Amino acid sequence: MLNFEFLPIAGIALTFILAGFVKGVTGMGLPTIAMGVLGTAMSPVAAASLLVGPSLLTNIAQLLWGPSVFKQIRRLWSMMAGIFFGTVASISFLAHDSQGFASLGLGCALLLYSTAGLAQLRMGIPLWLEPWLSPAIGLATGITTGMTGVFVFPSVPYLQSLELDRDDLVQALGLSFTVSTIALMVGLVDNAAFDRSAIWVSSLALVPAFAGMAVGQWLRQKISQRTFRLWFFIGLLVLGGDIVSSWLVRKM
């Protein structure tokens, strides 16, 4: 159960303002930021329970704002299937982790994702390979989600490699994150690990998440994406390093 004396409601609100802001600027990052920050003060499974509401509704909004929902579904359905089944199949690791390995996995996922972002890694995907690679990428993303609660790797670098235009990419990210959130919720409920005490707090977190997202979308037009993404990945690198180092200190 969540201990709100340890992590005040105000702290959760500020976390989702920040996470929504990042999502508004970049089109992604809400679950990553929220899991990373909340994961420093509570178990990943508790953080994932808080994440479900804001992540689901902000990503559905992002998905519907795009140019063509059905075009993205037709192209990426096998990847989405891989994400869903990979998450549900591996969620027991996150749900029943008693040794803190999910926290270590969360930190490692943030370190890997931020390093790839800072290195500006881009995969060149031939069109003929996409039907074969998409389900594998989806499955790998699902397994990562089930073990850490973070669903950006390797889905985000893969989608960025498909040479989608900006609006299509933002919509494809919204589709991927929506499916990941639904799969995360289904897996947690199926493993009796969804923290029902988080439902009302998760609902309240919608307000700061959407407020931060609105500010981020406004600021997207005012600042350099390159500069913002640089500091975004540096922040994730520091956050991931803090989670990993804290886990190692506890085990020493």
State yes or no: pLDDT of 4 exceeds 50: no
Q: Is a pLDDT exceeding 80 seen at residue 84?
A: yes
221 within domain boundaries? yes
Asked whether the predicted pLDDT for residue 205 surpasses 80, the reply is: yes
The pTM score is: 0.80
Given this model, what pLDDT does residue 134 score? 94
**CB of 2 closer than 8 Å to CB of 205:** no
- How far is C-alpha 73 from the chain's CA centre? 19
**pLDDT given at position 122:** 66
Residue 46: inside a domain: yes
Q: What is the pLDDT of residue 194?
A: 75
Residue 2 lies in a domain: no
Q: Is residue 4 part of a domain?
A: no
Quick one: pLDDT band at residue 31, thresholds 50, 70, 90? Answer: confident
Task: Round to whole Å and give the CA distance between 133 and 130.
Answer: 5
The CB-side HSE value for 177 (13 A sphere, CA atoms) comes to 30
pLDDT value of position 6: 46
CA-CA distance, 189 to 226, in Å (whole number)?
39
Among 75, 69, 30, 81, smallest CA distance to 171 is for 69
Is 1 inside a domain boundary?
A: no
How many folded domains does the chain comprise?
1
Give the pLDDT score at 171.
86
| 3-class secondary-structure state, position 214 | helix
Q: Is residue 3 part of a domain?
A: no
> What is the structure's pLDDT at 89?
92
> Does 60 reside within a domain?
yes
Cis peptide before 154 (omega within 30 of 0): yes
pLDDT of 201 > 80? The answer is no
> What is the Cα–Cα distance from 205 to 208, expressed in whole angstroms?
6
137 in any annotated domain: yes
Please say whether the beta carbons of 52 and 180 come within 8 A. Answer: no
Range of the domain at 107: 9-251
